[in-house]
Amino acid sequence: MHVVLAGGVGAARYLVGALEAFPPRETTAVVNVGDDIVMHGLCISPDLDTCTYTLAGAIDADRGWGLVDESWQAMETLGSYGGDRWFGLGDRDLGTHLYRTDRLTAGANLTEVTAEITRRWGLDCRLLPVSDDPVRTMVTLHDGDEISFQEYFVRLAHDVAVTAVRFAGVDDARPSPAALDAIREADTLVIAPSNPIVSIGPVLAVPGVREAVAVRRERNVAISPIVGGRALKGPADRMLAELGEEPSVVGVARRYRDLVSTLIIDDVDAHLASEVERTGVRALVTSTIMAQPGVAAELARTAVAAAFGSPT
Ligand code: FO1
């Protein structure tokens, strides 16, 4: 079983590659729930939905979230009353949140509901929320204001510096049994190229998860979400710098060195390979920008081979 610790867009792209490279049933994603939010009374799980829609080939590729061929009638009506519409919920996407909210209200847990939703989209791989308990990434700004991740990421377009990040509720959260089993029984584990602070961070922060990953460090590999000192999408580079860490593959290696034996970095960062290795993590240089078809599948093959300890 190939287990992937996943956030949103970058992880979803990697998962598409993993499903091309290996039989889909052999891949399980343990997905971040720190982005989750209740908006308009609806339970929304952005990273689970981004992975589901992407693997179903139904994602709106330009936005990187939500469904293709979307309409926005509900948001138009909401806006016409002066309602809050900074968090865009398309008419098709709303159906997912209505269903998830109904099922959670009826007593199902997020793992069960996610399995029902992924089944409807015909996914062969498993997407597991890291926890069925509420974990909410909160971001503190310079003026001391603490806001939800989505207010930071969407309403403020992450165009503001952060001074702290915390995961509300995480101390009382438990890893879902399925997620913990998947990590423990994985033949190979890959930390996807997601934001190490607010996408992978909340996954590792659920009590018991970091330990379960660290104990099998030799069969774990991470793929750097930072290429040439920049994040390919989103604020990971700025957040690393704002939180006093180096926004580079070396900074990522320092963050992950207790968890993985190998960090896969892009060709543009080949000159930093020796500095990565000085952190105690093996550097594996290859193409990690999953813009062209086939790159993600090749990256998955490289990552799995490296996790088995046999660099290709
Ligand atoms: N991202 C935005 O930039 N603007 C939005 O209006 C927005 C709405 C939205 C609705 C549902 C959903 O599942 C994701 C949505 N996202 C939106 C993305 C969301 O902020 C994710 O958390 C990010 O992609 C980070 O993972």
Ligand 1 pocket: which of 43, 51, 65, 139 to mutate (most atoms <8 Å of CB)?
65
| Distance from Cα 76 to the centre of ligand 1, integer Å | 18
Residue 286 bridge partners (DSSP): 266
What is the rounded distance in angstroms from the CA atom of residue 236 to the CA atom of residue 224? Answer: 11
Nearest protein CA to atom 3 of ligand 1, as residue? 154
Q: What is the pLDDT of residue 293?
A: 81
Contact of 197 with 243, CB cutoff 8 Å: yes
Q: What is the pLDDT of residue 133?
A: 98
Q: What is the pLDDT of residue 312?
A: 46
Say if ligand 1 is within 6 A of residue 47 CB.
yes
What is the rounded distance in angstroms from the CA atom of residue 284 to the CA atom of residue 10? Answer: 19
Ligand 1 pocket: which of 37, 44, 87 to mutate (most atoms <8 Å of CB)?
87
Q: What is the pLDDT of residue 253?
A: 98
Say if ligand 1 is within 6 A of residue 65 CB.
yes
DSSP assignment string, 207-245: TTHHHHHHTTGGGEEEE-SEETTEESSSSHHHHHHHTTS
CA dihedral 289→60→201→215, nearest 10 degrees, is -70
10-residue averages of pLDDT along the chain (312 residues) = 96 97 96 98 98 97 95 98 97 98 98 98 97 98 96 96 97 98 98 97 98 97 97 94 96 98 98 98 97 93 89 48
Provide the residue type at 63 as one letter: R
Contact of 124 with 116, CB cutoff 8 Å: no
Helix 9-21, helix 295-307: angle, nearest 10: 80
Nearest protein CA to atom 4 of ligand 1, as residue? 154
Q: What is the pLDDT of residue 161?
A: 94
Say if ligand 1 is within 6 A of residue 44 CB.
yes
Contact of 188 with 305, CB cutoff 8 Å: no
Q: Which residues contact 62 (CB under 8 A, 6 or more apart)?
A: none
Ligand 1, residue 157: give the atom nearest the CA: 3
Ligand 1, residue 88: give the atom nearest the CA: 6
Q: Which residues contact 93 (CB under 8 A, 6 or more apart)?
A: 49, 66, 67, 70
Ligand 1, residue 44: give the atom nearest the CA: 13
Domains, the chain, ordered by start: 2-134+171-307 (3.40.50.10680), 136-168 (no CATH)
| Distance from Cα 205 to the centre of ligand 1, integer Å | 22
Say if ligand 1 is within 6 A of residue 22 CB.
no
| Distance from Cα 29 to the centre of ligand 1, integer Å | 19
| Distance from Cα 63 to the centre of ligand 1, integer Å | 9
| Distance from Cα 87 to the centre of ligand 1, integer Å | 7
Ligand 1 pocket: which of 154, 156, 197 to mutate (most atoms <8 Å of CB)?
154
